[in-house]
Amino acid sequence: MRTEQLTTHQKTLQRVKKRPFSTYQFQTRLFLFPYILGTFILVVLPALATVVIAFTNYNTIRPPEWVGLENFFRLSQSAYARISIQNSLYFIGLAVPLRILGALLLALLLQRKRRLFGLHRAAVYTPTVIPPVAYSLLWLWILNPVYGPLNIFLGWLGLPMPAWLTEPGSARLAMVILSLFQIGEGFVVLLAGLQTIPRALYESAKVDGASGWQSFWRITLPLLVPWLLLLTFRDLLVSIENTFTPSFVITYGGPYYSTTFAPLLVYELAFDFFDFGMAAAFMLLFFVLMALLIGGITALVGPRFVREDA
């Protein structure tokens, strides 16, 4: 019995000697290898390649040639590119603030633990996980000018009934409207953000005689600024991406290119015309525009936020 224990102990010691600490660390690093390699090949490399392709006449068939700024010059001449940028800026300018505001209001409404509130939160999250194709078909029906439930409702209320998808202005607006229901991500993030605010702050504010409205402006909102900024940056990049499937399935960019947003134009340039160079140049241009926008917002909000924090 005693000897047996000794021998197992010795065996363990031997094994530890055989597999020193560094081997274990090497093995755990090996675990990271597929993730890093895969991400490099499938995400990092293609993203960097897009920057290079923008300066070539690449079309996947001929070997690419360096054409300098020609693609950008052609873009500046292209009415489609201009319309697509305008559409995208319209979408971002309207959808991003409304989406963040909507997520914030819903998070404030449903943050407390009350009966059935779990169900309400699930309901708010549902449109976000619905398959985009099914969601698009659903809206194709909702927006039908004659039989669609939306116009029937508007008719009941005696409100004007737009032609929605058949008229450029209302079609573009419709794309914004349908994006406003897919705000589950921001909603969940802000619910988490609200949880991090210490209850004690509200209690002491109440003792000092602050109204609910005051404690919202003085406590809740300032403490949520980092979360709201993060969401805004992500939404600037992601919400426009999410227009691809609806604009592809519902309108295919029409009528009169009114719903041709940036991702759809990239798709058309790259996969209908196989003009990868142009598509990449447009992508790069759009990305720089978004980076400038993000930089601008940071410059505007950043200093004030830092001062409040200090």
Using CB under 8 A as the binding rule, the residues of this chain from 105 to 124 that contact other proteins are 106, 109-110, 114-120, 122-124
Using the rule CB under 8 A, is 126 a contact of other proteins?
yes
Among 6, 7, 10, 29, binds other proteins (CB under 8 A): 29
Q: How far is the CB of 86 from other proteins (least distance, A)?
A: 18
Using the rule CB under 8 A, is 238 a contact of other proteins?
yes
Cβ 205 vs Cβ 214: under 8 Å: yes
Using the rule CB under 8 A, is 27 a contact of other proteins?
yes
DSSP 109: H
> Which CB atom, from 132 or from 222, has the smaller least distance to other proteins?
132
**160 to 199, contacts with other proteins by CB under 8 A?**
181
At 66, is the secondary structure helix, strand, or coil? strand
Provide the Cα torsion 276, 277, 281, 284; round to 10°: 60
How far, in Å, CA of 244 to CA of 186, rounded?
20
**242 to 271, contacts with other proteins by CB under 8 A?**
244-245, 248-249, 262-263, 266-267, 270-271
Using the rule CB under 8 A, is 159 a contact of other proteins?
no
Phi-psi region for residue 144, left (φ > 0), alpha (ψ -120 to 50) or beta? beta
> Which CB atom, from 154 or from 222, has the smaller least distance to other proteins?
154
Piece of 72-80, 85-93, 168-176, 237-245 that binds other proteins (CB under 8 A): 237-245
Q: How far is the CB of 221 from other proteins (least distance, A)?
A: 20
**34 to 93, contacts with other proteins by CB under 8 A?**
34-39, 41-47, 49-50, 53, 60
At 56, is the secondary structure helix, strand, or coil? strand
Count of chain residues binding other proteins (CB under 8 A): 87
How far, in Å, CA of 94 to CA of 102, rounded?
12
Q: How far is the CB of 34 from other proteins (least distance, A)?
A: 5
* Phi, psi angle pair for 218, to nearest 5°: -95, -25
Residue 187 makes CB contacts below 8 A (sequence gap 6+) with: 103, 106, 107, 121, 124, 125
Among 7, 10, 25, 76, binds other proteins (CB under 8 A): 25
140-166: burial string, b at 16+ Cβ within 10 Å, e else: bebbbeeebebbeeeeeeeeeebebbe
Cβ 98 vs Cβ 176: under 8 Å: yes
How far, in Å, CA of 299 to CA of 293, rounded?
10
**130 to 149, contacts with other proteins by CB under 8 A?**
130-135, 137-138, 140-142, 144, 146-147, 149
Using the rule CB under 8 A, is 279 a contact of other proteins?
yes
